[in-house]
Structure 1
Amino acid sequence: MTQRDPLGIAVIGTGRMGADHVRRIQQLTSGARVTAVVDVDAERAKAVAALADGCTVHTDPAAAMASADVDAVLVASPGPAHEAALLAAFAHDFPVLCEKPLTPDAASAARVMEAEVSLGRRRVQVGFMRRYDAEYMKLKSPLETGQLGRPLMLHNRHRNAAGPPWFTSDMLISDSVAHETDVTRWLLGHEITAVTVLRPRPSANAPDDLQDPQFVVFETDGGAIVDVEMFVNCGFGYQVQAEVVCERGTARIGDGHAMVTHMAGRWGGTIAQDFTERFADAYDREIQAWVDATRRGEVTGPSVWDGYAAAAVCEAGVRSLEEGGRVEVDLVDRPALYRG
Structure 2
Amino acid sequence: MSDNKIQVGVIGCGAIGREHIERLTNVVPETKVVAVYDYVREPAETAAKQYGATVYDSGEALIRSDEVDAILVASTDDTHADYVMEALKQNKYVFCEKPLALTAKECEKMIEIETKQGHRLLQMGFNRRFDKGYVEMKEAIDNSEIGEPLMIHSAHRNISQSPGFETDYAITRVAIHEIDISRWLLDEEYDEVQVLKVKQSNHTAGDWLNPQLVMFKTHSGQRVDVEVQTDGAYAYDIRCQVVGESGTLDLPDPATVVKRNNQSVSNDLPSTWAGRFGKSYDDEFLGWAKGILNDNIVGASTWDGYAACVTTDALIKSRQTGNPEKVVMIEQPDIYK
TM-score range, shorter chain: over 0.9
| Counterpart in the other structure of 2:305 | 307
2:103 pairs with one of 105, 115, 126: 105
Contact residue 205 and residue 231 of structure 2 kept, 8 A:
no
Q: 1:80 aligns with which of 75, 78, 86?
A: 78
Quickly say closer, same or farther: Cα 1:257–1:123, change in 2 above 3 A: closer
- Give, in whole Å, the separation in 2 of the partners of 1:83 and 1:89: 10
Amino acid at match of 1:43: E
Offset at residue 208 of structure 1 (A): 4.7
RMSD of aligned alpha carbons: 1.4
C-alpha displacement at 1:256, in angstroms?
Answer: 4.2
The Cα shift of 1:257 comes to 5.4
Residue deviations 1:135-160 (CA, integer Å, cap 9, x gap) = 11011111001121000100111001
Q: Do the aligned residues in 2 keep the contact of 1:215 with 1:229 (CA within 8 Å)?
A: yes
SS of the equivalent of 1:325 reads coil
1:33 is aligned to 2:44: no
Residue ranges of structure 2 left out of the alignment (5+ in a row): none
Q: Residue 325 of structure 2 aligns with which residue?
A: 327
Match of 1:262 among 255, 260, 263: 260
Aligned to 2:336: 338
Mapping for residues 1-340 of structure 1, pairs under 5 Å: 1=1, 5-53=4-52, 55-256=53-254, 258-339=256-337
The number of aligned residues is 337
State how far apart, in whole Å, the 2-side matches of 1:39 and 1:258 are. 37
1:277 Cα offset (Å): 1.8
Amino acid at match of 1:44: P
Counterpart residue identity of residue 297, structure 2: V
Contact 1:317 1:327 in 2 (8 A): yes
Deviation at 1:254, TM superposition (A): 4.2
* Matched position secondary structure for 1:258: coil
Task: Output the CA distance in 2 between the equivalents of 1:16 and 1:322.
Answer: 32
Measure, in 1, the Cα distance between the counterparts of 2:117 and 2:63.
Answer: 18
Question: Quick one: structure 1 residues 93 and 43, their matched pair in 2 at CA, closer, same or farther if it must change by over 3 Å?
Answer: same
TM-score normalized with structure 1 length: 0.96
Q: Distance in 2 between matches of 1:59 and 1:179?
A: 32
Gaps of 5+ in 1: none
What secondary structure sits across from 1:146 in the alignment? coil
Matches of 1:293 and 1:255, distance apart in 2: 29
Deviations 1:64-91 (A, max 9, x none): 1233321111111112111111121123
The 8 Å contact of residues 95 and 299 in structure 1, kept in 2 or not, is answered as no
State the 4+ residue runs in structure 1 displaced beyond 4 angstroms: none
Q: Kindly indicate whether the alpha-carbon contact (under 8 Å) linking 1:202 and 1:210 is maintained by their aligned counterparts in 2.
A: no
Q: Is the 8 A contact 1:197 1:217 kept in 2?
A: yes
TM superposition shift of 1:296: 2.0
Partner amino acid, structure 2, of 1:193: D
SS in 2 for 1:118: helix
